[in-house]
Amino acid sequence: MSYILELAQKTKQAQKDIAKATIEQKQKLLYAIADSLIANIEQILNANEIDLSHAKDNNISETMQDRLRLTTQRIEAMANGVRKVAMLPDPINEVIEGRTLANGLEIKKIRVPLGVIGIIYESRPNVTVDAAALCLKASNAVVLRGGKEAIHTNIALAKVMKNAIANQGFHPDIVSIVEDTSREVSTQMMQLNGVIDVLIPRGGAGLIQAVVKNATIPVIETGVGNCHVYIDNEADLQMGAQIVYNAKVSRPSVCNACESLLVHKDVANKFLPMVKALLDQNNVKLLGCDKTKHILGDCVIPATDEDYATEFLDYILSIKVVDSLNEAITHIQTYTTHHSEAIVTNNIRNANQFTSEIDAAAVYVNASTRFTDGEEFGLGAEIGISTQKLHARGPMGLKELTSMKYIIIGNGNVR
């Protein structure tokens, strides 16, 4: 029996333990996990220092190191996130709908756990805790496979959580960490039909495409965010500059950061220098079309079609001056990853056309794309941002981690 199959089978067996837990028991469990994270901050930070040291030795970019880095404040935020999940309404056994048929059969549709959820993700150790908390709250067990860059941190976090789980009387294997980060084991995990019920990849385009290509179990695609902001000719330009600045630089290494800026030709001469002045504060590299370069000068590197299709996850922004709203929409339709797209405008017709014609999980009018986040949407936390249409789309909270079951009650009914 392979390593990953044995681990996943233990998780599947343990899932029965959390599946029958009461609301109160799950809430108490999550509070215990949060408290344990705080009590073991030093241990977690020591493990994280090992991963950070390796990252520096391997010349990983500073923005990617930021995704990997934990601090006391970030661990406290993780613990607070677990507490928020604990306080959320429990979705399990929620009656979605019910009716009585003419023949007397009473039918109810209720929420039930998905079962065992596999998460494959890259160098963000907060996912280890967020994913575990959400899965447990929805009565699922979880197999966590993080990237090799964060392996020491992830093992430390998993150990802390498993100890808390055991202390609360649950089987510790309801949360499992894959310690072998080889590609071979990862591929085997993607093909554990009948053991893992659904697979959720969180990371860049390469990771997600590898999972989609190799997985034989159901996959929920998440994460890749080639997000656009379009500045309309009827926009409040000061507002637009602040939105672009926030969407690009507040945290460029995340999937809801702006990667591409589109500007209507009628306001480009005024707007582009305005937004550049803000972006210069963070030394954002600008890749642009000929019109952008004409306005801003030699600081602009000529943009290619590949640039417009790229999720940079860095202080890099592609820019294109467009002749119309229709051209902006066509450009976005060409390059979108269906994550988050925004228009800045005071024209309600233009806003309505944009929201109607743009196919994305989240479409914004006069707001930053950075709000595409489970906590910001009031979901407590998220397992990821789904960019597909089945079975979930957008920030995935607790309800998206459930399936459905019909309960039918009769009185000797036969067909």
Closest CA to 212 of 396, 384, 388, 383: 388
CA distance linking residue 51 with residue 59, whole number of Å:
12
Q: What is the pLDDT of residue 80?
A: 94
Q: Give 289's contacts (C-beta < 8 A, 6+ positions apart).
A: 302, 303, 319, 320, 321
Q: What is the pLDDT of residues 196-210, one digit of tens each?
A: 999 999 888 888 889
Residue 381: pLDDT over 80? no
Q: What is the pLDDT of residue 413?
A: 96
Range of 58-72, 156-170, 202-216, 388-402 with top mean pLDDT: 156-170
Q: What is the mean pLDDT of the chain?
A: 96
Mean pLDDT of 26-47: 98
Q: Give 98's contacts (C-beta < 8 A, 6+ positions apart).
A: 106, 107, 108, 109
DSSP string of 297-320? -TTEEEP-HHHHT----SSEEEEE
Give the pLDDT band (50/70/90) at residue 325.
very high
Q: What is the pLDDT of residue 308?
A: 98
CA distance linking residue 272 with residue 237, whole number of Å:
10
The HSE-up count of residue 294 (CA atoms within 13 Å, CB side) is: 8
Q: How many CB atoms lie within 10 A of CB 83?
A: 16
Q: What is the pLDDT of residue 382?
A: 81
**pTM for this predicted structure:** 0.87
Q: For the chain, which domains are there? A: 3-222+383-409 (3.40.605.10), 227-371 (3.40.309.10)
